[in-house]
Amino acid sequence: MEWQTNLDAYEKLLIRMSTPRVMIDNAGCCNATRVMIDSARKHGILLEAVQILTDLNLSIKKAYVSCDGRWFMDVFHVTDLNGNKLTDESVLSYIEQSLETAHYGISQSIEGLTALELTGTDRVGLLSEVFAVLSSLHCNVVDAKMWTHNGRIASLIYLKDNDSGSAICDSTKLSAMEGMLRNVLKGDNDIRSAKTSVSLAVTHTERRLHQMMFADRDYERKSIIKSCDDSPVVSVQNYLQRDYSVVNVHCKDRTKLLFDVVCTLTDMQYVVFHATEFFIKHMDGTPISSEAEKHRVILCLQAAIERRVSQGVRLELSTSDREGLLADVTRTFRENGLNVTRAEISTTMETALNIFYVTDAIGNPADPKNIESVRQKIGSSDLKVKEMPQIYHQSSERHEPTTMSSGGAMLLSLGSLVRRNLYNLGLIKSCS
């Protein structure tokens, strides 16, 4: 029976190595809930944890990551969006289950929907043209996210066929869609090819947007449309005697900052094994090897942070969903001189819940008269102004920059821009 005992012990060890151990402590920290994750070392383990916590719209006040041999210990101090500890047992249980059962890097199918990926040259009215093409092909946009950065656009759109109500399977229709959209996305002076691709399965949406813009090399370009003056400051130092590199980031606080940094480093194939500063190595255990590589890391991290910075006025549209809605709304934006710099589209129970960030044609603050004109045409009760960008509040008190550096008393403080109550998020599904 000794062999059976050894086999049982081996099976328990395998389970222990493949299943993270999660502990949640509300007593050890006076003003935040401490989430501790003990796991076997694997590439992307930090991103996996941060992704789940940010998908739940938690604010990460501090984060510590340490590595001892083949094991990681991640510690996060988190609060709800109002800065309070998490006390609801159902929320705590959901966090624990999500962290213990997540499977990093595995694609998840969006049942009954087709995923459409687009990258190309950004310009005023582009989103209007994209949605007009989809409407003409009788495609219904169920969910979508669009980012712009340095004159480029990346969008991930989930579609279904209006006639069948299911995923689009007609190869002729898909080919026609890709061709039409590729022509729309390609600018007059674009030296790079616009890209479209159709899939039935994708990774985490925001991670995929980062990957698309990284592959498009947006970090090497300069913005065509005016952008924010406050750029993140990134530095990289090598500690060759210890075989690792240290990355420091200084920038203004905003939501999902830690996710964007860790996502970029992970997808660049660096192992992040310490995060009071970001200690990183290549997958083969070596540090950054050249000044050119350092420069590339700095550019890529600056781009990752800037992609999510929301320029312009935040408009929220809540109305009954219908065929051609997005084409009509974005055409109205274009006709009134508004440029969409970021968009989040969702549909819940036949209701369209859409968020748009808009500026004027060159990235300056949009004229309030134009915004009011758009509201009157679309419906002032349906389209509401929810948030003004910092450029509209230059006379207000300036925010202190967030610092990711040595000492680490506070690694991150991520304030959410979305004022939703955490306790309404129990049904949110992590797409890790």
pLDDT single digits (tens) 241-255: 778 899 999 888 777
DSSP one-letter string for 367-416: PHHHHHHHHHHH-TTTEEEEE--GGGGTTSPPPPEEEE-TT-SSS-----
Question: Tens digits of per-residue pLDDT, 273-321?
Answer: 776 678 898 988 899 989 999 999 999 999 999 998 877 899 999 999 9
The answer to whether 212 touches 306, Cβ cutoff 8 Å, is: no
Closest to 429 in 3D by CA, of 333, 365, 346, 342: 346
Helix, strand or coil, per DSSP, at residue 134: helix
The answer to whether 170 touches 130, Cβ cutoff 8 Å, is: no
Question: Tens digits of per-residue pLDDT, 171-184?
Answer: 899 999 999 999 89
**Which run of H or E residues covers position 121?**
strand 114-121
pTM: 0.81
What is the arithmetic mean of pLDDT over 1-24? Answer: 58
Whether residue 415 is predicted with pLDDT greater than 70 in this model: the reply is: no
d(CA 96, CA 111): 25
Q: If you search the block for the tokens 């813009």, which residue do you land on?
A: 213
- Find all residues with CB under 8 Å of 36, minimum gap 6, and list them: 22, 23, 24, 25, 73, 74, 75, 76
CA–CA distance from 178 to each of 28, 119, 125 (Å)?
A: 54, 12, 19
- Find all residues with CB under 8 Å of 24, minimum gap 6, and list them: 33, 34, 35, 36, 92, 95, 96
- Quote the tokens at residue 167: 């995923």
pLDDT at 109: 46
Q: If you search the block for the tokens 């898909």, which residue do you land on?
A: 174
CA–CA distance from 122 to each of 127, 186, 223, 224, 414 (Å)?
A: 9, 9, 10, 8, 28
Question: Tens digits of per-residue pLDDT, 96-114?
Answer: 888 877 654 444 446 678 9
pLDDT at 417: 26
Whether residue 355 is predicted with pLDDT greater than 60 in this model: the reply is: yes
d(CA 326, CA 353): 11
What is the arithmetic mean of pLDDT over 136-145? Answer: 94
Closest to 265 in 3D by CA, of 286, 252, 284, 281: 281
Query: What is the dihedral sign for C-alpha 355, 361, 363, 364?
Result: negative
**187 vs 382, higher pLDDT:** 382
d(CA 359, CA 357): 7
Q: What is the mean pLDDT of the chain?
A: 80
Query: What is the dihedral sign for C-alpha 260, 271, 249, 219?
Result: negative
- Quote the tokens at residue 265: 């480093």
pLDDT at 309: 83
pLDDT at 104: 46
Question: Tens digits of per-residue pLDDT, 44-93?
Answer: 778 888 988 988 888 888 888 877 667 778 889 998 888 889 988 888 98
- Quote the tokens at residue 395: 């006379």
What is the arithmetic mean of pLDDT over 388-416? Answer: 40
DSSP one-letter string for 292-309: HHHHHHHHHHHHHHHHT-
- Find all residues with CB under 8 Å of 216, minimum gap 6, and list them: 119, 152, 154, 192, 195
Whether residue 131 is predicted with pLDDT greater than 90 in this model: the reply is: yes
The answer to whether 86 touches 33, Cβ cutoff 8 Å, is: yes
Closest to 104 in 3D by CA, of 430, 427, 414, 428: 430
Q: State which amino acid sits at residue 228.
A: C
- Quote the tokens at residue 34: 């401490």
